[in-house]
Amino acid sequence: MSKTSSRRAAFDILGEQVAPGTRAMLQMDIGKLYTNTPLSIGVEVIHGKHDGPVLLVTAAIHGDELNGIEVCRRLAKLPALDRLHGTLVLVPIVNAFGFIQQIRYLPDRRDLNRCFPGSEKGSLGSRIAYLIRKELLEKCTHVVDLHTGAIHRSNLPQIRANLEDDANVAMAQAFGAPVVMHSNVLDGSFREAADKLGKPFILYEAGQALRFDEPSINGGVKGVLGVMDHLGMLKSRRRSKKSIEPIVASSSQWVRAAHDGMMVAKTELGERVKKDDLLALIVDPYGEMELEVRTPVNGIVIGRNNIPVVNEGEALFHVAKFDTVREAAKTVEQFHEHMEDLNDPDLRHTDPWGERYDS
C-alpha cells in the first residue's frame, strides 16, 4: 500500500501496531465452539497517513443482520481510503456465534446488544461486550453501527440516535438516510456504552434479517462515506450532485393486530399514509372474517411485518410521524431514486462520489 509516514504514530489495537499508510486484518479471540475450534471477530484497520478521527463501523451485532456485513466489505475496497485522514476500523461480524448459526442471539439466547458494558467474568455475552468495549470502543472517537429489521420484518433506511447530542445530530444529517429518528439509549446496549464514554454514535437500520437488500446496502456505503466526509477523513472528494436532506421524525407508532388471522397488506414500506388510511386486512383462512387495519396517524411507513400469519397484538406496521408528511414523502422518494441510480450497471462498481471500487 502507501509508504509509511514518520509524522504519524502507529495505531495500537488488539496488541498490534498498525503503521500509518497501511492496513491490517486482525483477530479478536472471543471463545471456542463446542468442537474446541477457536472463534474470533475479524477487525480490519485502515490507518491513514494523516491525522484525523478514529471511526469504528460495526455490523451484525445481531448475527442474522447481513446488510451491514456487505456495507463493510464494499467500504474496505474503496480507493478513497488510500487518501484517508484518520483511522477506519471495520468490524463486519460482531456476533460471530449468531452469524454462524444464522440467528439473532448468542448460543445462550442472550442479546449481545443488551450485555454492555460487560465484564471479564460474566456470561458469554458479557465477556464479549467487555472485549468490544475495551479493545475497540475505547480506541475510537466516533461510531456507526449497522443494523436491519428483525426476522420477517423490513425497515425503511433510517438513522436512530440520541438527537439531544449535537455531534450525533451532525453525523445523522451527514449520513443522508431519508429518515432520522430520536431514540433514547437502551439499558445494556452498545449505544449506551458509547454514550457513557462520550463517543458520538449513530445506528443505521435498513432492510430485513437474513436478506441482502441492494438499496439498503448502497445507502449504507453512501452514508458511512458521508459521515467520513463530515469528519474530515476524506479530502479532495467529488461531491454527489444528488444529496438527501434527511427528515427528522417527531415520533413513531407501531400499529398492531387486533385479531388473529392472515394479514393482506394494502400499503408498502416507505408509503405516505393519512389517518384512517387502510394499511391491511386481517382475514381468516375460511373467508368468514375480514377486519380492517387502519393507521391512527399521518406519517410514513418505516417498518412492516412481512409474514402474513399474525397473532393478536403483533406489530404490523411502524409509522413515523412528521411535522410535514409531504416533505418526508419527497425525501423517501429521492432516496430511492438515488439508490436506483447506483444500481445502474454503469454505476454499480462506483462509490457515491463516482469513483470505481473494483478490486
Q: Name the residue ranges covered by the structural domains of the chain.
A: 11-230, 251-321
Q: Tell me what the pLDDT averaged over the chain comes to.
A: 91
177: three-class secondary structure by DSSP: coil
Is the confidence at residue 92, as pLDDT, over 60?
A: yes
pLDDT digits (tens, 9 = 90+) for 111-143: 999 999 999 999 999 999 999 999 999 999 999
CB 30 within 8 A of CB 128: yes
pLDDT digits (tens, 9 = 90+) for 170-200: 999 999 999 999 999 999 999 999 999 999 9
CATH architecture of 11-230: 3-Layer(aba) Sandwich (3.40)
Rounded to whole angstroms, the Cα distance separating 125 from 119 reads: 9
| Amino acid present at 319 | V
What does DSSP say about strands 85-91 and 261-265: parallel, antiparallel, or unpaired? Answer: unpaired
Q: What is the pLDDT of residue 238?
A: 56
Buried-exposed string 209-224: b where 16+ CB fall within 10 A, e elsewhere: bebebebbbbbbbbbb
Instruction: Tell me the pLDDT band of 9, cut-offs 50, 70 and 90.
Output: very high
CATH architecture of 251-321: Beta Barrel (2.40)
192: three-class secondary structure by DSSP: helix
Quote the percentage of the chain above a pLDDT of 70. Answer: 91
Average pLDDT over every residue of 3-18: 83
